A and B are shown apart, each in its own frame.
Chain A
Amino acid sequence: MKSSLTEGVAPDQLPVAHEHQNEKNDGKQDGRLSLFRLLLKDRFATVSALILVFVGLTALVGPALMGDLATKQNLLFANKAPFTLAHGWEYFLGSDSLGRSMLARLVVASRTTLSVALPAVAVALFVGSLWGVWAGYHRGWRENVSMRIADVIMSFPSLLLAVVVLYVFSPSAANIVLILALTRIPIYLRTARAESAELQSRTFVDAARTFGAKPNAIIVRHVIPVVLPTLLTLATLEFCYVMLAESSLSFLGIGIQPPDVSWGLMVSQGRQYLQTAWWLSIFPGVAIVVTTIAANVLAAWLRIATDPAQRWRLALPRKRLIARIPAKEAKP
């Protein structure tokens, strides 16, 4: 397999793909290590990664630390302004319309938000990619039918589809995940199909075929590893989209329902207090924006880092980079 992949590119070109092989070998170690080093070289990507790790950790352990602070109401203590320690650390970010700690609610909401966004992206990525790769590899009617199905899903405004489906089945977190995943499958399906259709005519796939490898084996061993970096980059971008879609659902009153709380729901519920208590919707809004920007930056970085033709750029000092761009022939 290695030999067929090395056509014009270095063996360590696909670090992400290597993670999906269960064999322990040096290539994996190298790939990971150098990817990590590359990350440290880019300040913005590093900060973004740190932010995402922080958000992830908050979602993981934060709610336990907050105890019942996020649900404890005090009607006489409603809408207290933020940025003062006068009421104790838990009210540093102010209190909401029912006197609950904004800080605690933001922390608890981070878990709900991520537990909707991450599974939705993962499900769509998994189903869409496999389907797309399969369709693109086989081409013919399989490809045609798949693309028409994608057309059908894409031609129905996803927000409305979500509203209708969530009216039929109640708006629980699981259903929101499923419907968001369903509407985003075509994105992966199309990309994976295009890449896989291109690959299936390439020499190394041909070679594998002549040696009698089964289609599914070729897809798993030769096509998926090549396509995966693109799809993972796409997934990182989609993570932003899904978070925004979840907040739009809250605006339409059909997203996460109280007493559960997500950032999208907080922005949506806080909007009526914009003039009297701005922090109710600004803080969760900022949380969404910061998280999505971090994911965006990381996706942009990942796109370059996993592209063997561009990756060298990250390793260079900045000044030389600009000077050398026109000289490089960037065709794999």
Chain B
Amino acid sequence: MTSSSKPPFPALLKWPALASVAMLGLSGCSVANSDAGAASSNTVRVVLGQEPPTLEACESNLTSTGVVVRSNVTEPLIERNPQSGELEPKLATEWKATTDTEWTLKLREGVTFQDGTPFNAEAAAFTIERAVNSKLGCNVEGYVFGDADLAVKAVDATTLTVTTPEPDPILPLRLSFLEVVPTSTSATEKVREPIGTGPYKIEKWDAGQKITLSSWDGYWGDKPAYAKAEYQWRSESSVRAAMITSGEADVAMGLSPDDNIGGLGVDYPNNETVALRLDANEAPLNDIRVRQAINYALDKEGIVNSLYQGKHQVAAQLVPEGIVGHNAELKGWPFDLDKAKSLVAEAKAAGVDTSAQISLVVRSAQFPKITELAQVLQEQLSQAGLNVKLKMLETSQHLTYQVRPFADDEGAVALMTQHGNQAGDAAFTVDQYMLSTGAQSYFGTPEFDAMIKKADAASGEERKKDFEEIFAYQNDKVVQFAHISHQTGIIGKAKSVNYTPNSSSGDELRVSEMTPAN
């Protein structure tokens, strides 16, 4: 074979070049040449952990949706102040219970939606009908209202009555989860980009890349400081932190203490509590001494101080301070390994199979350093003489252990749960976690169930006291939970932005509360 029989070499080099041109051509619109997100002083750039699946208003109780939509694009009738826990007027100016089951709301006048239509009782009634009574399958319906339907009536343009099938002392709180949309919103399909009455409207959603909100001129309240808000998302928390350090973002959600963001990290109590939930239906957890031993065996102080740099607080109950029903008297179980060992020995002597395996079921990547925490818990429980197997699962598999009907292929399960009470009332915690039939409860007692039912129907100071008793009773008599810590969230914040996060910032990030620092 001689060289002359071969085509000249340049044909070879052309191949990849041609291919690349062809491929780039094929791919049509370019992703990368969209406008370079130049920082301008009237835009605040936020980086989230994930892209919102939708911005549908009736799904805004989902963290990833609510963080963009709530109080930015849409607004509720009534709003809960995350600092004081008090309900405050928003689109409703006042509300009162007119009978046992009927509430009457007075609505704000002079409010218009971003499409120009006026806000009135009809729109408010439509919102409730759409979210709670329709076949849409809204997430907020299941989360806040359950199967019960509400009867809604627009009495006149600014008066609305809501009737519940049972007396419901916290209906206004429940209503605070509903974001109001105009009657032009589809009642049969979910809407990805809602219209609301909020200070910002959705300008553009570049799927996969970013969402831009721009300030709306017709807003009924004060005009916010930033003309635009841009949302991006990165799943690695270290990358989110890096975007703050490098000046590519102004606010970063959900950072870890090890992202080393220094002075740019702002701590805030995020209302999340971590605990082990113990399955008393299986040996050895069916013995209360073993469950107590687990509480004694966990070195909560050590965990909080070394893993979380002292930023979390040792927990003694499922809800942190600031939630109605939090019992300030309760102290975390002391760390006492000897006591734990002797309790296990006692149970063993009484015929409990303390060598039976306990599965420690943990969700991977649920919160920062969860893998480390899980390994520490496993080690400490093993020290107490228990046979613990660590089981790290992804979200969907973890859910089969977390909610009813529980996966039953295992022996005893100690499930690590991270519970956040967004609502501010202990009922949202207790009904789920402590009723013997609760969606996330392994067991209960008839007596305990009665206490819970009573508290649910109570109001005011009595309600508070009832729930406080419930938390104390769980620790003394039931011991379904081994509480670990109340968490602290970290938000990354550039120096150019003034913003103070609060306990609801993770679910509802109000851009109107942010101002440029200079």
Contact = CB atoms under 8 A, between A and B. Distances in A.
A and B touch in the complex (CB under 8 A): yes
Interface of A: 71, 73, 75-76, 78, 97-98, 167, 253-254, 257-259, 269, 271-277
B394 A254 contact: yes
14 contacts: A73-B375, A76-B306, A97-B307, A97-B369, A98-B376, A253-B365, A257-B391, A258-B375, A258-B392, A271-B238, A272-B256, A272-B258, A274-B238, A277-B258
A253 B379 contact: no
B62 to A, nearest CB: 21
Given A71-B379, A75-B306, A257-B392, A276 B371 contact: no
Closest 5 CB pairs of A and B: A75-B306, A275-B260, A253-B364, A257-B392, A75-B302
B394 A73 contact: no
B60 interface: no
Of A76, A98, A167, A273, chain B has the most CB atoms within 10 Å of the CB of: A98
Nearest to A71: B379
Interface in B84-116: none
B206 to A, nearest CB: 25
Contacts of A98: 372, 375-376
Of B258, B368, B374, B390, chain A has the most CB atoms within 10 Å of the CB of: B258
A220 to B, nearest CB: 36
A38 B259 CA distance: 50
Of A73, A254, A276, chain B has the most CB atoms within 10 Å of the CB of: A73
B307 A75 contact: yes
B373 to A, nearest CB: 10
Given A98-B372, A259-B378, A269-B371, A75 B259 contact: no
B397 interface: yes
Contacts of B307: 75, 97
Interface residues of B, number: 29
B406 to A, nearest CB: 17
Contacts of B258: 272-273, 275-277
Contact of A73 (B256, B365, B368, B379): B379
Nearest to B302: A75
Contact of A272 (B237, B303, B364, B390): B237
Given A98-B375, A258-B392, 15 more contacts: A75-B299, A75-B303, A75-B305, A75-B306, A76-B306, A97-B307, A253-B365, A254-B394, A259-B390, A272-B259, A272-B368, A275-B258, A275-B259, A275-B260, A276-B260
Contact of A97 (B302, B372, B378): B372
Nearest to B388: A259
A71 B376 CA distance: 10
B384 to A, nearest CB: 14
Given A73-B379, A273-B258, A275-B258, A258 B371 contact: yes
A254 B394 CA distance: 8
Contacts of A269: 371
A79 to B, nearest CB: 9
Contacts of B371: 258, 269
Contacts of B259: 272, 275
Given A75-B306, A167-B394, A275-B259, A259 B375 contact: yes
Interface string B356-390: 00000000110011011011101100000000001
B379 to A, nearest CB: 5
Nearest to B380: A73
Interface in B248-264: 256, 258-260
A256 to B, nearest CB: 10
Nearest to A96: B372
Contact of A78 (B306, B368, B394): B306
Contacts of B299: 75
Nearest to B364: A253
A28 B372 CA distance: 52
A165 to B, nearest CB: 13
A75 B306 CA distance: 6
B376 A73 contact: yes
Contacts of B374: 258
A326 B374 CA distance: 63
Contact of A75 (B365, B376, B391, B396): B376
A96 to B, nearest CB: 9
A243 B108 CA distance: 63
A276 to B, nearest CB: 5
Nearest to B256: A272
Contacts of B376: 73, 75, 98
Contacts of B397: 167
A75 to B, nearest CB: 4
A257 B374 CA distance: 11
Contacts of B378: 259
A253 B393 CA distance: 9
Contacts of A277: 258
A271 B369 CA distance: 12
A111 to B, nearest CB: 18
A189 B270 CA distance: 54
A258 B238 CA distance: 21
Of B365, B368, B379, B396, chain A has the most CB atoms within 10 Å of the CB of: B379
Contacts of B306: 75-76, 78
Contacts of A275: 238, 258-260
A269 B305 CA distance: 20
A260 B374 CA distance: 13
Contacts of A253: 364-365, 392, 394
B51 to A, nearest CB: 18
Interface string B134-157: 000000000000000000000000
A97 B378 CA distance: 15
Contacts of A254: 394
B391 to A, nearest CB: 8
Contacts of A75: 299, 302-303, 305-307, 376
